[in-house]
Homo-oligomer: A and B are copies of this chain.
Amino acid sequence: MSGLPTTLDAQSGARLEAYLHAHIPLVRAMQVRVAACDASGLTLAAPLAPNINHEGSAFGGSLAGLATLTGWGLVWLLLEPVHATHIVVSTSQIDYLRPVTDTLAAHCPWPGEAALDGFRKTLARRGKVRITLHVRMLQQQILCARFSGDFVAYHDSP
């Protein structure tokens, strides 16, 4: 057993939110919170006011930042029981489809058992693993932005 979780729950979401607020000042400035953390995946949200732009909609940098945090956060949740693991984003791409004019929300689905199994085995074997995650940002069921990012997790060298 790798010790990695097989699903998410509200308690792990609360720990992620506390971790992000403790370590990343911009998360506090953006007022990011965990909106949902369950078997379907992770949803982060942030109010519009601190993330607004000159057009009265969400600033692109806030949308990109929130999507990045959502993918990063999902990997953090996958690895929470494992000590001395670093997680970094290595590349990402975002399409802005429609303006977000209310609460920002970004959802990253739980990657599924097959992907997770490969993730666990590669990390155990090589001490390093890359995973591609997709994040969708919706407002009233309408897709406003889609993000994909590669995240790398690695152990400290022995």
Contact = CB atoms under 8 A, between A and B. Distances in A.
Copies in the complex: 2
- Chain A interface size range: 35 or more
A13 to B, nearest CB: 17
Contacts of A19: 54
B64 A51 contact: no
Nearest to A86: B55
Interface string A48-66: 0111111100011110111
Interface in A66-123: 66, 68-69, 72, 86, 88-96, 99
Interface stretch (A23-31, A35-43, A133-141): A23-31
B53 A23 contact: yes
Contacts of A49: 25
Contact of A24 (B52, B65, B95, B96): B52
Given A91-B93, A95-B90, A64 B68 contact: yes
Interface string A1-29: 00000000000000000010001111001
26 contacts: A23-B53, A24-B53, A24-B54, A25-B29, A25-B49, A25-B50, A25-B51, A26-B26, A26-B51, A26-B61, A29-B50, A60-B68, A60-B72, A60-B89, A60-B92, A61-B65, A61-B66, A61-B68, A61-B69, A64-B64, A64-B68, A65-B65, A90-B95, A91-B96, A92-B93, A92-B94
Q: Which 7 A-B pairs have the closest CB atoms?
A: A61-B65, A29-B29, A23-B54, A64-B64, A60-B89, A93-B93, A91-B95
